[in-house]
A and B are shown apart, each in its own frame.
Chain A
Amino acid sequence: MTANLSDQDTICSISTPPGQGGIGIVRVSGSQALSLARKVFVDGSGRRLKSGRGYTIRYGKIIDPETRAVVDEVLLTVMRAPKTYTREDVVEINCHSGVVIVRRIMELMVSLGARPAEPGEFTKRAFLNGRIDLAQAEAVMSLIAAKSDTALRIAMQQLGGELSLRMKGLKEKLLHLLAEVEVSIDFSEEDCHPIGSAILEKRVREILDDLGGLIETGRQGKFIEEGLVTAIIGKTNVGKSSLLNRLLMEDRAIVTPFPGTTRDVIESTVNIEGIPFRFLDTAGFRYSEDPVEKEGIRRSRNSIEKADLVLMLFDLSSRPNEEDRKIARLARGKEVVLIFNKKDLVDDEKREKEFYNELIEEIRPKATVSTCLLHENGVVKLKSVLSGLVFQGGSGFNESVVVTRTRHLHALEEARKALNRVMQHSQEGMSEEFLSLDLREALDAVGRITGETVSEDILNEIFRSFCIGK
């Protein structure tokens, strides 16, 4: 993978102030920031942006320059270098219409030539351009490390299943094609048949079809529909199914006063502030001999495994004990929100503290919410905590849900452009080394998604597929 490090590119990303889920900001930084904004923005009286100076805020519309369609009404903030966070020209587009629109604006900027920022890149530029003082440097470094790790992990997870298979297939096809092209350059003395432009073009067309499909999927937001997997876990009878029903605002799961009611994982998606959460209601943890319940509990464990986020419920009318710690231990390394339920029975801060102190030895929760699910108390608070977590820069979900996807799309688009050039050059009768240049670019782009390098892969593929050597 060629690290995309150039500090000359203009970068953009989505950022959202914590706690204000409804507002999304697309932030653009770099020498092209203003000219990009000029291409898409017209102000209230229909005028384009002039070379704004200093710090200005304008009200206006974002218009897709290709279709002339209005994307959204926005506030546009222009900040001129060097008095900005990154010390470069910065444009911020504030819109109020939820993630989907924010994402479209971001994609628009990318299609016009901005590059989706790497995790932590704004901060990196701020630092490299001398904006952040030295004492903060180390914090920035661990931030970048942490963010890219989560981003990559979650990205791969979310790519999971069918999509990831398709991505892998795409990469393999490209690699094989490149190997065929290369083999005829480096080993022209061998009796391997050169691939020939007809077959090559056929293969490229196939790959372009695959790519087109993937890009469409991305555009329609199918990636995003997969949502954030959020597991609801806890002992039996703490109110997990009640929580699911409250979030869904319907009677989805059976609720009874008897412990051990839920046996299988119940899954339902809820949109909160435009972000899809896939909630998993699970069987409560307790010791059981019943084979059905045992299987249910095993599934609860699996749900924790695959979750991006864990909601851990406790019953305030009981006292914390070793069992609670055991449950907490299962969710180590996950993003966890603690929920103290049945506040109506024991409304006592001391009890909450008691739980908290017991659990803190096992996990570091992102947030704590107390609820009374019998009366729908605390649910609104919980929802805002959840969306806040996603939008907050710190959690790493930010990149995973929205930006990573835009980066993926961007990479796929780059691959498509490169392959179109391969087609064109092949039809013009250019020889293999020129085709190889763009095939490599396509492969590099795909490699940026799967996180793999390609240069050694090509030779490996050649030696695997062809009998080479005098």
Chain B
Amino acid sequence: MGRIIDATGIQFRMLNTRKGPAVQAPRAQADKQGYRLRMKSVVENQPGLMVQQGTVRKLLIRDRKIFGVETDLGYRYGGDAVIVTTGTFLKGLIHVGLSRFPGGRAGEPPAVELSDNLRSLGFIIGRLKTGTPPRLHGASIDFKDLVLQKGDPDPHPFSFSTKTIQREQVPCHITYTTPRTHEIITKNLDRSPLYSGRIRGVGPRYCPSIEDKVVRFPDKERHQVFLEPEGLDTEEIYANGISTSLPFDVQKELVQSIPGLSHARIMRPGYAVEYDYVSPLQLFPSLETKIISGLYHAGQINGTSGYEEAAAQGLIAGINAVQAIQGRSPLVLDRSEAYIGVLVDDLVTRGTEEPYRMFTSRAEYRLLLRHDNADLRLREKGYRIGLVSEEEYEAFQEKKERIGRELGRLRKTFVFPIADVNEVLEAEQSAPLRNKTSLFHLIKRPELDYAKLAPLDPTRPKLNRGIRSICEIEAKYDGFIQRQTAQVKRYREMEGIRIPEGIDYGMIQGLSREVVEKLERIRPASIGQAGRISGVTPAAISILLIFLKNRRSRIG
């Protein structure tokens, strides 16, 4: 996916460049058709993959184990593992104003039978809601007075394998709603399916409709609207920021009350969609369902929202389906290894009541989960399960070795408090040295960095940008990284104490009924996971530890 967005992205921007490396994040805007077609072709040409299309209405189950699916035409496809990724399609219901019609996305029919089928198998079904903004015709927009937002001049690719971004880059524009917009919205709330009680699904708080924003934050005078091109070969513009389910005529009026859009034509109206999701508490961390063996759920069906969230789960479910078929143990990433680990653990441990989106603040070990070290964190694992080629792996090994060598060198290379050195430091407005100091230590000074130390470091090897930057980060934030590493060690200890399957929590003395109920429902795999379940107290954890110890001694 990284490679395909690198090939089809039309605007790349690194977010948070003002801040440290741990929270900088690459963002790309896709050419939506371009991305889709390129990905389709990759999938179709993937050796060993057979692509078939059809609407699944039923899962084929025998003895709580899946053996295939059945389509609405009655065709059956066999398989030892099935991954369900229905997005917003399960009983999808689209709202525009007070009219509503069944649909997974605008213009596509929903999956109704499959939802009932899942329910009858014992899955707990909930209802969520999400929305989209109207799509505008670019030629009808007056961009002249709007704020221009360009991509980065030197775009940072997503994939470690991409050298440079080739595709033509386009700018976005920013405009703002006006008091008039808010007036239009307020006046028409009675025709909003959200505010007239027609929509029951829970929407995401981080991605509210414009109606919601105006109602919940009445003091805010204006809201940002990003005008984003949908692709290079289309005039369509995505009006990001005014997601709405108001009636078409109101949408038109509200769009035209926004500077630059006074003559804008809506090509497709915005809408809200309500859909079924399946409680992720019914999943193992492998994303296999707890009640049907061989069945996996991934993506929006698990209550998430967003491309990355869906992609992360698709990857994990895909890997684990194959691992299971090959009789190998599942790949589970933990919270200190990857955002994927945070995402999956949050879902299967705490569940979600609103569409779940990843935020860096959800990660305890954020300073370790950086995009610059993604390969250092995960390539090894990828290689072991056969997702990384020998070639790539060798290159990676070499990179790792270089980093190790360079960090070692920085620690062992000292500079001394002599005039030459202090002159260089002074030029950077850095305090003169009093004692001999390692380069590693010197990099930590806020006003210095790896590049600035070059004059003091004549023997430094030639290294590429990635390696230089990771060495700089490791040295500069050494203290913080060590603190987080110590936290991770504690965390891993607790993760390492496994809770055997099938224990009867009701039998454990001293646990409150509420705690027993939660533990029974979620059946955590480790003491660490148990501790993250809401309502499970430290005292309950102590009791569990003692119980486990007791049990082990009895068995052993």
Contacts and interface: CB of A to CB of B under 8 A. Distances in A.
Interface residues of A, number: 52
B140 interface: no
A467 B20 contact: no
Interface string A137-154: 110111011101100000
Nearest to B537: A148
A149 B511 CA distance: 11
A376 interface: no
A20 interface: no
Interface string A357-383: 000000000000000000000000000
B206 A469 contact: yes
Given A463-B206, A468-B205, A185 B550 contact: no
Contact of A470 (B19, B220, B241, B542): B241
Interface stretch (B115-123, B357-365, B430-438): B357-365
Contacts of B488: none
Nearest to A119: B539
Nearest to B361: A182
B480 A434 contact: yes
A437 B367 contact: yes
A248 B241 CA distance: 71
Given A3-B531, A134-B550, A469 B204 contact: yes
B15 A189 contact: yes
In this complex, the member of A1, A185, A428, A468 whose beta carbon has the largest number of chain B beta carbons within 10 angstroms is: A185
Contacts of B539: 118-119, 144-145, 148-149
Interface string A254-284: 0000000000000000000000000000000
Contacts of A5: 494, 531, 538, 541-542, 545
A420 B152 CA distance: 37
B67 to A, nearest CB: 39
Contacts of B213: 467, 469
A304 to B, nearest CB: 25
Given A134-B550, A185-B361, A6 B509 contact: no
Given A124-B542, A134-B553, A469-B204, A144 B23 contact: no
Contacts of B494: 5
Contacts of B446: 428-430
Nearest to B447: A429
Given A144-B510, A185-B16, A459-B361, A433 B22 contact: yes
Contacts of A456: 534
A34 B493 CA distance: 25
Contact of B361 (A128, A142, A146, A458): A458
A188 B538 contact: no
Interface string A406-435: 000000000000000000000011111110
B541 A3 contact: yes
A223 interface: no
A451 to B, nearest CB: 8
Contact of B208 (A145, A149, A433, A469): A469
Given A3-B538, A120-B542, A459-B359, A431 B20 contact: yes
Interface string B11-30: 00001101110110000000
A8 B360 CA distance: 30
Contacts of B512: 145
B546 A1 contact: no
A1 B483 contact: no
A167 B23 CA distance: 31
A344 interface: no
A74 B301 CA distance: 66
A315 to B, nearest CB: 40
A124 B509 contact: no
15 contacts: A3-B538, A5-B531, A137-B547, A144-B539, A144-B543, A148-B539, A188-B15, A430-B20, A431-B18, A433-B23, A459-B361, A467-B208, A467-B220, A469-B207, A470-B241
